[in-house]
Chain A
Amino acid sequence: MTAPIDHAALQLEALAETRFTVPAIKCAGCMGKIERELARVAGIAEVRVNLSARRVAIRHAPALDEDALVAALAAIGFEAQPVAALAGTRDDREARMLLRALAVAGFGMMNIMLLSVSVWSGAEGATRDLFHFLSALIALPVIAYAGRPFFASAWKALRHRRTNMDVPISIGVVLATCLSLYETATGGEQTYFDGATMLLFFLLAGRALDAAMRGRTRAGIGALLGRMGRSGGVIEPDGTIRRVPADQLLPGMAMLVAAGEALAADGIVEDGSSAIDNAMLTGESLPEPVGPGSHVHAGTVNLAQPLRIRITAAAQDTALAEIARLMGEAGQSRSRYVRIADRASRLYAPAVHSLAALSFLGWMIAGAGWHQSLVVAIAVLIITCPCAMGLAVPAAQVVATGALMRRGLLVKDGSALERLAEVDTVLFDKTGTLTLGEPQPDLARIEDTALCIALALAQHSRHPLSRGLARAIQAREIAPAQLDGVTERPGHGVFATSDDVSVALQRGDADADTMASVLTIGRRSWTIPFADDVRADAASTMAALRAEGLELGILSGDRTDAVAPVARALRLFARANASPQAKLAHLERLKASGRRPLMVGDGLNDGPALSAAHASIAPGSASDISRQAADAVFTGSGLMPVALAVRTARACMRVVRQNFAFAIGYNLLAVPLAIAGQVTPLIAAVAMSLSSLVVVVNSLRLAGAAK
């Protein structure tokens, strides 16, 4: 569980606590390994892994800094990012507050119901008055505490002269409580304390479900911005190199970028030749060769040899910052989206309020007294209180997201699910979305003994092709061979000897269009071709999406001749060579013509398009910014979750509409009773729980929807 603590050494100084996001934590094995191995590191007192959030909390001596802890995690094979202590706790606090309110409402509801049952079964006189008094004693603090989320939200809406679902709820609860207090004080026959607390309990259950859904998926997606190029090595006039944070770099400075380092600013190469991994910016998987005079951008990674770069744009002026700015603007239209529950309440709340007012007036005109007319009006409000409506949306959405999660798709929130159901066009990025984004080697013609050596060589290089090769060979459960004297010559390959035979893994023909590596063992050599293949189930996913009546297309930043074969194979309309701005413009045009596009993309260059689209999905391998911008993230190597997402979202909305239809149908039956003054607290309580139950059971049918 918790790591053993070296008390003698650690009690003397206060411990610091640092949290890290470790996306690779998947199972009990990872948890055990991290907690066991890290506890052995000097200075670390306690390690606690949170599997749901994919986080590790480390209590350690203040002398250990973040970098040392990241290195310790890296040493046991886990990539980690430090997270700010308070990041993302606002949603957590809200979810906890709702849970507490739910518990209080549950407590109040059950105890008041206990007393109410006695009243309904015929308690009279002093006993009934005592029970009413006790109910009031329990109900007042419970309603004051558990009702806060609704009162606060209703007050906020009213102050902005708007109305939402919480306004009729709050008015109903407050009026019912006041009337019941009056009845209790005057020894009346009926009180509605049970109805009011029960209403709060069911509604809070809906809210808590909604909050739990958001918390669950947010943990899987993680929020890691700005991990690339946080600082640059500036070359001073006297030749020394000084690390400067990215936001303090200035145009005109000379910057030295080591192999494997991410660029922190845009610039022109002055000296050196290397290859640049543009995958973050353009989605292009093939490294781009650069030499003196080439333009390079912040966020890309220098793969081979050190480069001397003259900075042309830094901080807020880089192409990267421009993309971030576009994303911020594009995302604003989405925050204006009105959720279905709020749209329903815009019609519902005025209808209910005028109905209650009319029945009050009607009874007054008919000659009933103030008291009786008020009782009827409040009964109308309570019976129409959107109890089933409050559950109609969250219950269905929680079940649907749970079903999708089991199939490898994490939906961020309910609004995302609602928008996913409305899309009519799907646009795919190519590299990393339709394809896996990782070059896959073709190992068919190479024997196992050679593969052992290839694996050992590949493990010594950070080049994307080498890493892809190492992964592919490891997947065949082949162990690496023993090597001596390994040297990596950047831009050329890895060289070593194995059993006194010289071996090498070199790059293929530089000018060839296809990617390849050359493996040499002694005098024999093999060419290992690489291809970034289309995901295996892409064709069947397209068929499934077409069956849903969606229009499909490719919107890629890649070269035309790279996009064309994929587009032909999948029979898709394609647009290549699209810059981030062009992608954004394309989506805005679609939206202006009344379409509702779903964007599926992974690269940083897709970021603005992902934010602007009506809904968006990113693969789990996508850049952090894209995962942040997308409504949903799918994991695994299949593309099918995209089709499942649309189908399940539509099924979910069908169930939501059924739930609404049921809630309205129930009102049509119950409201005449209430207006006629025939609703007793007993009828209200039974009707309320029955309608909620029906809505929940109907929503549970979605459990098998993502098949």
Chain B
Amino acid sequence: MNGLAFLIPIALGLGLAGLGAFFWSLHSGQYEDMDGAANRILIEEEGE
């Protein structure tokens, strides 16, 4: 039963980390242009 003392905080921590990552990706606009993101790999970059 002592294992629970570690495992439950770890499970919660992982879940919170995932939630945080999702919020961050939403906030940084990664879902603003889903079609564009799919198409951008087709843009030929000019040599710079």
> In the complex, which residue of chain B has the Cβ closest to the Cβ of A106?
B19
Residues 15-32 of B, flagged 1 when their CB comes within 8 A of A and 0 if not, give 110110011001000011
Q: Which of A29, A49, A104 contacts B19 (CB 8 A)?
A: A104
Assuming the A-B contacts A50-B33, A134-B8, are A107 and B16 also in contact, with contact meaning beta carbons closer than 8 angstroms in the complex?
yes
Q: Is the CB of B23 within 8 A of A31?
A: no
On chain B, the residues within 8 Å of A96 by CB distance are 26
Q: Is the CB of A111 within 8 A of B12?
A: yes
A472 interfacial by beta-carbon distance below 8 Å = no
Q: Is the CB of A52 within 8 A of B33?
A: yes
Assuming the A-B contacts A32-B43, A107-B15, A107-B19, are A127 and B1 also in contact, with contact meaning beta carbons closer than 8 angstroms in the complex?
yes
Q: Which of B34, B43, B46 contacts A31 (CB 8 A)?
A: B43
Name the prevailing secondary structure of the B interface residues: helix
Q: Which of B12, B23, B39 contacts A27 (CB 8 A)?
A: B39
On chain B, the residues within 8 Å of A134 by CB distance are 8
Q: Is the CB of B11 within 8 A of A114?
A: yes
Assuming the A-B contacts A52-B33, A111-B11, are A32 and B26 also in contact, with contact meaning beta carbons closer than 8 angstroms in the complex?
no
Q: Is the CB of A36 within 8 A of B46?
A: yes
Q: How far is the CA of A177 from the CA of B40 in the complex (A)?
A: 47
**Interface-central residue, A49, A51, A114, A134, by most chain B CB under 10 Å:** A51
Residues 254-274 of A, flagged 1 when their CB comes within 8 A of B and 0 if not, give 000000000000000000000
Q: How far is the CA of A383 from the CA of B8 in the complex (A)?
A: 29
**Interface-central residue, B12, B16, B26, B36, by most chain A CB under 10 Å:** B36
Q: Interface size (B, Cβ < 8 Å)?
A: 26
On chain A, the residues within 8 Å of B35 by CB distance are 51-52
Assuming the A-B contacts A28-B43, A127-B1, are A107 and B18 also in contact, with contact meaning beta carbons closer than 8 angstroms in the complex?
yes
Q: Which of A1, A52, A99, A107 contacts B40 (CB 8 A)?
A: A1
Closest 10 CB pairs of A and B: A51-B36, A28-B42, A32-B43, A28-B39, A50-B33, A52-B35, A51-B35, A107-B19, A103-B22, A52-B33
Would you mind naming 30 contact pairs between A and B with Cβ atoms under 8 Å apart?
A: A4-B48, A28-B40, A28-B41, A28-B42, A28-B43, A29-B42, A29-B43, A31-B36, A31-B39, A31-B43, A32-B44, A35-B43, A50-B32, A51-B33, A51-B36, A52-B32, A52-B33, A52-B34, A52-B35, A103-B22, A103-B23, A103-B26, A107-B15, A107-B18, A110-B15, A111-B15, A127-B1, A127-B4, A134-B8, A138-B12
Known contacts A27-B42, A50-B36; 8 additional CB pairs below 8 A are A29-B42, A49-B36, A52-B33, A52-B36, A99-B31, A110-B15, A114-B11, A138-B12
